[in-house]
Amino acid sequence: MARWYVCGLALAAAELLLIFATVFSAKGLRGKEFQGASRIPSQFSEEERVAMKEALKGAIRIPTVSFSHEKSNTTALAEFGEYIHKVFPTVFSTNFIQHEVVEQYSHLFTVQGSDPSLQPYMLLAHFDVVPAPEEGWEVPPFSGLERDGFIHGRGTLDNKNSVMAILQALELLLIRNYIPQRSFFIALGHDEEVSGTRGALKISELLQARGIQVAFLVDECSFIFDGFIPNLKKPCAMVSVTEKGALDLLLQVNMTPGHSSAPPKETSIGILAAAVSRLENTPMPNMFGSGPLKMTLEQLANEFPFPTNIVLKNLWLFRPLVSRLMERNYITNTLVRTTTALTMFNAGVKVNVIPPVAQASVNFRIHPAQTVHEVLELVKNIVADDRVQLHVLRAFDPLPISPSDDKALGYQLLRQTIQSIFPEVDIVAPGICIANTDSRHYTNITAGIYHFNPVYLQPQDFSSIHGINEKISVQAYETQVKFIFELIQNADTYTGPVPHVHEL
Ligand SMILES: CC/C=C\C/C=C\C/C=C\C/C=C\C/C=C\C/C=C\CCC(=O)O
Ligand SMILES: N[C@@H](Cc1ccccc1)C(=O)O
Ligand SMILES: [Zn+2]
Ligand SMILES: [Zn+2]
């Protein structure tokens, strides 16, 4: 009897031990694999949803306009700094997050992850905006008014939506006690619209001095495009893997002034007008076939009806046809060539005086397959008039092409997150950023520069960027917050392009 009793006790003890062991090992496993158990669902309460849209509206109401370095609203830039402290208190009070102000107004956050073996990444955005004269707007551009489900105002797409969504997603994760494993940086620029040389450039120098290299960064300038290409009924998420270069040229003609009653055969105005007109009428060469556009089209091919699918799949044969079709539309045209935009023209002092000097500015956006030097040579040949002086005001080459293969962590993380947040989008393709962004200042700290805003964009929305009636739907903004909330977690749990093989 006693023996049985002892035996029974021993058995019970063993059983208890076993239970403990199972519980502990299960915990250990979950801790290691991470995904399932510690994942925080991207669901927000009604109260949180109201707070997040109100936070964006408040940001829109601060008129952080950059007109030039000399002319920017520094009061508003400073106020914006105070504003983010107020609406994201947890971000600023968390002990593993360091906050630094760079060049008075830009912000750098260092979020220290728990696993130092994982290479950090970086999220970029800017909170300065281009000016917005009130004419033509349905609602005043700095009112942040909500109407018919949309928040209106300058910066709702470019780029306060990203600034606020990044901090908002982090705030919500922190409130839920999330502790990131992979470190990351958040860099918020205050002078992107006027070159980023005070904000982004200084932040990149600071990080470089600290010996930091990031695995990848994500910035503005690409969207889920919807309705841009005739025949392509489905939306297409483009993650841009390169950015165009730029060249700002000043063209100047000087002549001896005199009495307009006895004019010379040609005036500075006439000579300059003819030169810029030649530039406008002689587009830079079509570079179709080089750069990431070929990859994009190959991936898109299957989404088109017959015969476009066949045409796109056989570019070796149809290249001339496709390249001509791309030129026809002013948006797809940007993807095949260096664009030429005549943006300023000044001359003359009085109606009866022969003008001493005429000046024009031309803004080129350089195709990734060309260089500043090549564009300058082409311009000289087109202008072909020694009386027209060419002065380079600013120039930089296109960015290198970031990897988009199976091993490219940044690209794959974005692809994975797009697929989970936008299940209806089945095309994710590499693209080209046709404008310029702060990310070009970060080539010293990463080879993985990706442009993606998790927001749908239709052609009319495209014209609102730097134009009138810029707006974002409340639902689109919530989805952007959700996307970043997931992206941060995915960066911690990412296991490679073919996950879960071990479970088979
Ligand atoms: C085959 C190609 C497939 C789809 C192409 C469709 C559209 C892509 C072309 C143009 C891209 C449109 C929008 C991006 C432009 C500007 C982004 C916003 C900000 C840039 C930087 C700034 O000004 O702050
Ligand atoms: N991002 C703006 C302003 C800019 C222009 C050129 C260089 C740098 C910034 C644009 O692309 O128009
Ligand atoms: Zn921008
Ligand atoms: Zn802009």
Active-site option among 171, 192, 219, 303? 192
pLDDT at 496: 75
**Best mutation site among 434, 453, 472 for ligand 1 pocket (most ligand atoms within 8 Å of CB):** 434
Residue 53 has pLDDT above 80, yes or no: yes
Atom of ligand 1 nearest to the CA of 335: 9
pLDDT tier, 498 (very low <50, low <70, confident <90, very high otherwise) = low
Which range (32-41, 147-156, 252-261, 413-422) has the least confidence?
32-41
User: Known catalytic residue: 461?
Assistant: no
Distance of CA 121 to the CA centre of its chain: 15
Tens digit of each residue's pLDDT (9 = 90 or more) over 348-385 = 999 999 999 999 999 999 999 999 999 999 999 999 99
Question: Percentage of the chain surpassing pLDDT 90?
Answer: 85
Sign of the C-alpha dihedral, residues 69, 74, 77, 78? positive
Strands (E), 61-193: 97-102, 106-111, 121-126, 146-147, 150-152, 184-189
pLDDT tier, 290 (very low <50, low <70, confident <90, very high otherwise) = confident
Q: Which ligand is nearest to the CA of 193?
A: 2
**Best mutation site among 159, 436, 442, 462 for ligand 2 pocket (most ligand atoms within 8 Å of CB):** 436
pLDDT at 104: 98
Q: Which ligand is nearest to the CA of 322?
A: 1
| This prediction's pTM | 0.90
Tens digit of each residue's pLDDT (9 = 90 or more) over 192-236 = 999 999 999 999 999 999 999 999 999 999 999 999 988 888 999
- Tell me the C-alpha distance between 101 and 456, whole Å: 32
Kindly provide the b/e burial profile for residues 437-451, where b requires at least 16 CB atoms within 10 angstroms of the residue's own CB: bbbbbbeebbebbbb
Tokens 């476009």, residue? 308
What does the pLDDT average to over 55-74?
96
ipTM of model? 0.96
Atom of ligand 2 nearest to the CA of 363: 6
Taking CB atoms and a 6 Å cutoff, what residues make up the pocket around ligand 2? Answer: 192-193, 195, 246, 435-437
pLDDT at 69: 87
Encoding tokens for residue 488? 């941060």
H or E element that contains 309: helix 308-313
User: Known catalytic residue: 192?
Assistant: yes
**Best mutation site among 69, 193, 343, 365 for ligand 2 pocket (most ligand atoms within 8 Å of CB):** 193
What does the pLDDT average to over 115-122?
97
pLDDT at 55: 98
Q: Give residue 192 CA to ligand 3 midpoint distance, Å.
A: 7
- Tell me the C-alpha distance between 456 and 472, whole Å: 9
Residue 37 has pLDDT above 90, yes or no: no
| Domains defined for the chain, CATH in brackets | 46-239+400-499 (3.40.630.10), 245-396 (3.30.70.360)
Nearest CA to ligand 2 atom 5: 436
Residue 57 has pLDDT above 90, yes or no: yes
pLDDT at 340: 98
